[in-house]
Structure 1
Amino acid sequence: MTTDRRVLVHPDRDSLAGAVAARFITKIIDILDENDEAHVVLSGGSVNTAVLAAIRNSPAQNNVDWKRITFWWGDERFVEAGSADRNDLQAREALLDHVLVDPAKVHPFPSTDEIADLAEAAEAYAAELAAAAPDAALYPRFDIMFLGVGPDGHIASLFPGMSGVTETVKTVIAVRDSPKPPPLRLSLTLPVIRSADRIWLVMAGSDKASPLGLALAGASIEEVPAAGAEGRRRTVFFVDQDAAAEVPENLIAPSY
């Protein structure tokens, strides 16, 4: 696993979203030039949703062959399909409904409309991952995984001090007592997250300064799950100036 972790700082939230969008378009075109398909994992949250909207609004997105991209999610709130709380609904409204994706390659987590039991929903998504995996693998090779980071350092729905952070057998877990509402959630586990070639953590705001600083300083994953987010090839923290307040100058990269 790579130790190439970079911090890229942008002046504010808007410039951050635009820069990540531009980087995504460039990188996904490169990936599709080298491969028949790409697998991308999306994240919820206002900043990551702003990135998706910036991708949609970029003229360069017309150069992306969207039908060759398979989309997954890192976590989801276990609510009804039409709920505004759902990450997949936010992603559809920001980007996916506006580009020519293949509907069969968009894989949202189950909603309560589809599967009433949380544990069964987790098993169903794990089976969906396995069905798309090569050979006997349990999940696809993810080219880019977007993650948000909470003020408490959580990623996906892996929260500090909860058993899901250290789960190593299951690929998808049922979260029943999330400290952040709603309490019922579904989440990829850390081994699946760390299997991604590239992990892009997008963070904005002064309340993200502490978890970012702790993650870079090597905090335990039990205390700061974001510290465990390391991609196979590259891990990049895309942050705004406020979130970078506690990052040592020598850790800030001049470019991607």
Structure 2
Amino acid sequence: MTNERRVLVHPEKAALASAVAARFITKLLDILDGQEVAHIALTGGSMGAAVLGEVAGSSAQASIDWSRVHFWWGDERWLPEGDAERNDQQARDAFFARLPIAEENIHPFAGSDAGIGLDEAAAAYTSELARFGTGDVEHPVFDITFLGVGPDGHIASLFPHRPGIEVEDRTVIAVRNSPKPPPERLSLTRPVLNASERVWFVLAGADKASALGLALAGASRDEVPVAGIKGRRRTVFFVDAAAAAEVPEALIAPGY
């Protein structure tokens, strides 16, 4: 089993979204050829939605048996169900509303209007993850985990110099006083993310260049949380040219 880190650079955001979508469809077909069910962890943000929109709009997606694919999220904003700022709602608008995917294959975090508190919501998602665990692993092993990266280097809702990035005894944490609004959130923890077979970071914009450069240069995970995340088989950074400004040339895949 190999564990590679690769940086694939695309000229701008639209080309980036299209390329990631095409690669996702190809890889998902390959995964499903070798196993019965695939588990995918999604991210939010403009690039996350753009990639999903490209997947939904591709004629190639018709080749996938979507009944064999389960979708999860790396984190979520503690907002009411259906709020346009929620990661799951962005995915529904861009992707799920356009494809025949059963609700039982979609695993969102609870909304703030669900009648439970933040800690109860974390416990509920912990239980939902455990339903799909295998052996001693209390969560599904994600075949592909999509992650965005903030200008400060945060991933999911694990922020620099905050305790969340250090948590190892839980699969889900409640996040309070987030430096990025809204202040309350839910997030998978680093061990769950690092158990993923493949981690695909998708990021665009000059404001991400410093964090990406620091992560690839060996910064600490406390300073730059993205530096502490890697897939078991492969870790790929899909970036646009602006975000790649501080990436060492030696780390950029040939042809990109």
Q: If the length of structure 2 is used for normalisation, what is the TM-score?
A: 0.98
The equivalent of 1:246 in structure 2 is 246
Give 1:2 deviation, angstroms. 5.2
**What's the counterpart of residue 187 of structure 2?**
187
Alignment of 1:34-73 (within 5 A): 34-73=34-73
- The AA in structure 2 aligned to 1:28 is L
The letter for the 2-side match of 1:107 is H
The answer for unaligned runs of 5 or more in structure 1 is none
1:189-208 Cα shifts (integer Å, max 9, x gaps): 00000000000000100001
Structure 2 equivalent of residue 166 of structure 1: 166
Q: Aligned partners of 2:77, 2:161: CA distance in 1, in Å? A: 19
Paired with 1:136 and 1:169, the residues of 2 have a C-alpha distance of 14
Q: Is the 8 A contact 1:2 1:231 kept in 2?
A: no
- Report the AA paired with residue 129 of structure 1: L
Deviations 1:131-186 (A, max 9, x none): 11113321011100000000000000000010001001011000011111000000
* Aligned-partner Cα distance in 1 for 2:148–2:94: 16
Aligned to 1:231: 231
1:109 partnered with 2:109: yes
Structure 2 distance, partners of 1:75, 1:23, is 23
Distance between the aligned counterparts of 1:82 and 1:200, measured in 2? 26
Residue 93 of structure 1: SS of its match in structure 2? helix
Give the secondary structure class of the aligned counterpart of 1:89.
helix
Aligned AA (1:248): P
* Superposition CA RMSD, Å: 1.2
CA deviation vs aligned residue, 1:38-82 (integer Å, no higher than 9, x gap): 000000010111000011111111111111000000000011002
Give the corresponding residue for 1:118: 118
The alignment of Structure 1 onto Structure 2 pairs a total of residues equal to 256
What residue in structure 2 maps to residue 29 of structure 1?
29
SS of 1:76's equivalent in the other structure is strand
**What SS does the aligned partner of 2:60 have?**
helix
TM-score normalized by the length of structure 1: 0.98
Q: Which residue of 2 aligns with 1:152?
A: 152
1:202-213 equivalences under 5 Å are: 202-213=202-213
The secondary structure found in structure 1 opposite 2:41 is: strand
Name stretches of at least 5 consecutive residues in structure 2 with no aligned partner. none
Distance in 2 (CA, whole Å) between partners of 1:146 and 1:96 is 16
| CA offset digits 1:103-151 (Å, max 9, x no partner) | 1011000111224310111011011100111133210111000000000
Give distance in 2, aligned partners of 1:151 and 1:2. Answer: 29
Counterpart of 2:201?
Answer: 201
| 3-state SS of paired residue (1:91) | helix
In the TM superposition, structure 1's runs of 4+ consecutive aligned residues that sit over 6 Å from their partners are: none
Alignment partner, residue 178 of structure 2: 178
Deviation string 1:191-240 (CA, Å, 9 cap, x unpaired) is 00000000000010000100000010111000000001100000000000
